[in-house]
A and B are shown apart, each in its own frame.
Chain A
Amino acid sequence: MCTYILRRMVSAIAVMAMVGIFIFVLLRLAPGDPAAIMAGRNATAEAIAGIREQLGLNEPLPVQFMLWVSSMLHGDFGTSIFSGRPVFELVLQRLEPTLSLSLMTLALSVTLGVSLGVLAAWRAGGLLDRTLTLFATLGYSVPVFVVGYFLVYLLAIGAGWLPVQGYVQIENGLGGWFAHLVLPTVTLSLPYIALIARITRASMLEVLSEDYMRTAAAKGASAYAMLVHHALKNAGVPILTVVGLSFAYLIGGVVLTETVFNIPGVGRMVVDAVNSRDYPIIQSVLIMVSGLYVLINLAVDLAYTLIDPRIRY
């Protein structure tokens, strides 16, 4: 087990190195010059050249890359070209809304997705199952911004039950924090609820026809014990895989949702940074996100052993 984790860590480093090169090259290939944007529309060529010099953008690309990597290894994720503040600090400031949104979305998607999937499998072919199939298809195919604006129109502008957009920090009141998160969470969750429900249903259906389910019934187990105790744990491995993948895709969804609902999170920060070519922010946030992604994958793989005793590393 320990050697397995160690091996995975080593391969994680290789993955991160490739991601780093990719991000770096991609950014430098993209059109647009941060120095020109910083200097303003009417700046002279000399002024722009001065800013370039100051930011170290005149160094050869490999040197720029090595400088970036070595400072990251020392815990320094660089400073924003525009605000002049350390990127790490900026991310920390923006972390709360993003984390709140992601974790609430994950919690809602898993609980609702798994329960609906279990119910659909239990009553396979019935009315509930068919309704859920329809709902899942819709939930999976309608994009976030459409659902988002629709819900805002219906529940915030129309009914006035919930705030239209924005974010309230936890320390400024739990009620406000929660109210502002309801619409973005629901919007962002729909495709994940649909995906997890479909996978849960399929996995459960397979397990429900296993011989050991008949053994459990012959023992006198209740429907609840059969579904949750005997079947769900056996159906768990594919469900867990999908939850892990969902979390990865969630990162992309968060960026879009934060924009739609005007939430000042990490996602919005990255979008702004892309618009102004603030290289240090884009680079470092992408590296952090890919690091998180690698860690989640490892955690999911390790969690398999908790579900199925036959899996050993």
Chain B
Amino acid sequence: MQVQEITGDDVLLDVRNLETHFFSEGSVTRAVGGVSFQVRKGETLGVVGESGCGKSVTSLSILRLLPKLTARTVGGEVRFRGRDLLKLSEGEMRKIRGDKIAMIFQDPMTSLNPVYTVGRQIAEAVEIHTGASRTEALAKAEEMLRLVRIADPERRVKNYPHEMSGGMRQRAMIAMALACSPELLIADEPTTALDVTIQAQILRLIVDLKERTGTAVMFITHDLGVVAETCQRVIVMYAGRIVEQASAVDLFARPMHPYTKALMRSVPDRRRGKERRLPEIPGIVPSLREAVIGCSFAPRCPRATKVCREKTPVLEEQGQDHAVACWHAHEVVSA
């Protein structure tokens, strides 16, 4: 049985069999190898996985922001409100970026242009997409800074990025992303580069603004704790593929893929006590340069059998909105 297709008006983004490859001097890296998922209107979708599993490349492929010389999306569709973004011209794509789909990035220290004021950078998005004048756009920028709870926005709007702290800069990035009220916000590890105390504040801000604006959020993270706090649905990625997809509640209650289970075990838990060493996942993420035969997690999987090494498992529905790509899914649940 294949994954059930959610159809109808509530689907905002429908990614089908997305494949993105990187090319470098004769070798091809299959960074994203056939990924399909959907984001519904107003929901928060978590995308989880280790570094190098293809989560960021997936998000950059959606907005077509990958470097043209080295990366290419070689297959699949990215349907946003029914239109395939991969088929749009560069000019049409620019109208989507920052207006319908906005993005915030991992490192707020380097993601803002150092030679322009923060206000002007937020205003730029408004000017591009609404045709507002510089003065109107700057007023909007100030309003956005107030919305993301930056104190003294009248003054901060004239600040350069180097005059702000990391947390404040990430707030400014969020203000920039939300300035044109996008329908989808892609947040690529938005709290990873921040102090732990600031992380919680930024997270709360995103969740809060999402509630107020009804924007759908695609939350890319390697932090399962963040997923548990913010997301309704989760996809787990490994080596450029989706290995499990479920509602957040279901995923934490009943993880079916051995990789998901391993990830959950490696999250620190206060109740477990201090003396126990945090379990890690043995082995390393496989190189994506060679074609994978069988399940790509098999070399690190305690349950791997002959079939795992010979045939690649496909994502299969295992109950209400819960799909997994594993030959031994049922044994994992019962274990």
Contacts and interface: CB of A to CB of B under 8 A. Distances in A.
A221 B63 CA distance: 13
Looking at A220, A308, A309, the one whose CB has the most chain B CB atoms below 10 A away is A220
A309 B160 contact: yes
Nearest to B93: A220
Interface in B109-123: 110-116
A222 B111 contact: no
Contact of A218 (B97, B113, B114): B97
Interface in B294-326: none
A66 B141 CA distance: 64
A309 B65 contact: no
Given A219-B97, A220-B125, A310 B160 contact: yes
A140 B309 CA distance: 60
Contact of B98 (A220, A230, A234): A220
Contact of A309 (B94, B99, B162, B173): B162
Interface stretch (B29-37, B100-108, B233-241): B100-108
Nearest to B124: A219
A210 B109 CA distance: 11
Given A219-B176, A309-B160, A233 B94 contact: no
A263 B176 CA distance: 57
A215 B128 contact: no
A220 B99 contact: yes
Interface in A39-68: none
Contacts of B253: none
A22 interface: no
A240 to B, nearest CB: 13
A212 B65 contact: no
B87 interface: no
B97 A220 contact: yes
A212 B114 contact: yes
Contact of A310 (B95, B129, B162): B162
A214 B105 contact: yes
B114 to A, nearest CB: 6
Interface string A260-295: 000000000000000000000000000000000000
A: interface residue count bin:
20 to 34
B94 A220 contact: yes
Contact of B115 (A124, A211, A219, A233): A233
Contacts of A91: none
B284 interface: no
A211 B99 contact: no
A234 B114 CA distance: 8
A125 B129 CA distance: 32
A12 interface: no
B335 interface: no
B65 A214 contact: yes
Given A218-B65, A220-B98, A308 B114 contact: yes
B69 interface: yes
A225 to B, nearest CB: 8
A103 interface: no
Given A218-B63, A310-B162, A212 B125 contact: no
A217 interface: yes
Interface of B: 63, 65, 69, 94-99, 102-103, 105, 107, 110-116, 124-125, 128-129, 160, 162, 173, 176-177
Given A215-B176, A218-B97, A308-B115, 5 more contacts: A211-B111, A219-B98, A220-B94, A220-B128, A307-B115
10 contacts: A125-B69, A212-B110, A212-B111, A215-B113, A218-B65, A218-B103, A218-B105, A219-B125, A219-B128, A225-B124
Q: Which 4 A-B pairs have the closest CB atoms?
A: A220-B98, A219-B98, A211-B110, A220-B97
